Amino acid sequence: MNTSVTIIAEAGVNHNGDIDQAKRLIDVAVEAKADFVKFQTFKAEKLVSQEARKASYQSKNMGDEDDKQYNMLKALELSHEDHLTLIAYSESKGIKFFSTAFDTDGLEYLNSLDLPLFKSPSGEITNYPYLKKIASFNKQVILSTGMANLGEIEVALDVLMRNGLSRSQITVLHCNTEYPTPMRDVNLKAMQTIQQAFGVSVGYSDHTLGIEVPIAAVALGATVIEKHFTLDRNLPGPDHKASLEPQELKAMVTAIRNIEQTIASHGRKEPSPSEIPNKAIARKSLHLSRDVSVGSTLTEDDLIPLRPGDGISPMNWQNVIGRSAAHDLAAGHQLTWQDIR
């Protein structure tokens, strides 16, 4: 993890079981300048029963008549050789690879590949043996919390920390597990609630359409952003329709890096280096609205605030009225303290 916002480009299963398509997804993540590209590691038989049905969004997005999760997932598995190929390809392109496992065997497998961090998906937040295993590796863990309440998050954190992790090794992602997530259900303030309740680093795993919500999450303190992306939203598969296309992913990363700069400063309200030269141009100073003779007493009718603001500030209005002119002064003259006595 780095000191800036960590951006995870979630390829997930959007490779559709095609290693060349997976490589193209890595290329897109590199072009967008994401920090990580993430896939999913599973064996269908260890993830779902033969009778488990697809989620409604999966059936809708795939548009086929087969409602079995098993058949869908079996076609989306990555083999050992696939993992090695994608890890090597990611390294050659200068991006960090990691993956999400969905069972303890998958976690052991990913650990054998010496990956730098682990991600617990939302569905495993109530899976005690899974959480115990992921903690045992003593590596950074990202805990996604879709569908969870605060109590379930507390219990999951307790399991992780009782089994070897420190609080500083855990980042908790607020998440909504609906693809795509309706804007009304995002509840982005819950991310801050998690941070306040547990004193952990927080982030956001986004399933909305578009890029504005993850950008807003960064402004609210997210240290990790995860977002699904695809080569083409019209491709068949369960997650394409809720994923960003390449140019959108690139735009999101650029926007996040811009937002990072806007919130990284000290927080004191003071002129910035770039705006200091504009003070004299934008502000006003006291000028004369008409000719004034030496010795005459200055009244409100004699004064007018005009740009530039490099003379006597109009905030000295009351300190100037009632003073007398030190010499003859013409209308439009910018007053100085030497002009009055």
Q: Render pLDDT for 202-239 as a digit per residue (tens, 0 to 9).
A: 999 999 999 999 999 999 999 999 999 999 999 988 88
Structure tokens of 69? 């999760």
- Please report the pLDDT score of residue 53 as a whole number: 82
How many domains are contained in the chain?
2
Instruction: Give the integer Cα–Cα distance in Å for 30 and 116.
Output: 18
- Please report the pLDDT score of residue 49 as a whole number: 86
- Please report the pLDDT score of residue 189 as a whole number: 98
Residue 232 CA, chain-centre distance (Å), reads 23
What count of other Cβ atoms lies within 10 Å of the Cβ of residue 76?
Answer: 19
Instruction: Give the integer Cα–Cα distance in Å for 328 and 296.
Output: 9
Which pLDDT tens digit goes with each residue over 151-170?
999 999 999 999 999 999 99
Examine the domain organization and report whether 149 and 197 are in the same domain.
yes
Which pLDDT tens digit goes with each residue over 19-43?
999 999 999 999 999 999 999 999 9
Examine the domain organization and report whether 194 and 312 are in the same domain.
no
CATH code of residue 72: 3.20.20.70
- Please report the pLDDT score of residue 72 as a whole number: 85
- Please report the pLDDT score of residue 37 as a whole number: 98
Cα–Cα distances (Å) from 146 to 71, 86, 157, 159, in that order, read: 24, 28, 15, 18
- Please report the pLDDT score of residue 132 as a whole number: 98
Domain assignment present for 1: no
Q: Can you give the pTM of this predicted structure?
A: 0.89
Examine the domain organization and report whether 155 and 98 are in the same domain.
yes
Contacts of 247 (CB under 8 A, 6+ apart): none
Structure tokens of 122? 């939302």
Examine the domain organization and report whether 282 and 190 are in the same domain.
no
Residue ranges of the chain with pLDDT lower than 50? none
Examine the domain organization and report whether 122 and 73 are in the same domain.
yes
| Spatial contact of 110 and 87, defined as CB atoms under 8 Å apart | no
Q: Which H or E run includes 201?
A: strand 201-206
Instruction: Give the integer Cα–Cα distance in Å for 80 and 200.
Output: 34
Please give the residue range of the domain that contains residue 303. 276-339
The DSSP bridge partners found for residue 40 are 100
One-letter amino acid at 4 equals S
Structure tokens of 112? 């054998």
Domain assignment present for 241: yes
Examine the domain organization and report whether 284 and 231 are in the same domain.
no
Determine if residue 52 is left, alpha or beta; phi over 0 gives left, psi from -120 to 50 gives alpha, anything else beta.
beta
- Please report the pLDDT score of residue 238 as a whole number: 85
Domain assignment present for 153: yes
Instruction: Give the integer Cα–Cα distance in Å for 252 and 258.
Output: 10
Q: Which residue, 219, 236, 263, sits at the end of a domain?
A: 263
Q: Which residue, 235, 263, 291, sits at the end of a domain?
A: 263
Examine the domain organization and report whether 190 and 324 are in the same domain.
no
Examine the domain organization and report whether 202 and 285 are in the same domain.
no
Examine the domain organization and report whether 139 and 10 are in the same domain.
yes
Domain assignment present for 117: yes
Domain assignment present for 268: no
Q: Which residue, 217, 239, 263, sits at the end of a domain?
A: 263
Examine the domain organization and report whether 254 and 309 are in the same domain.
no
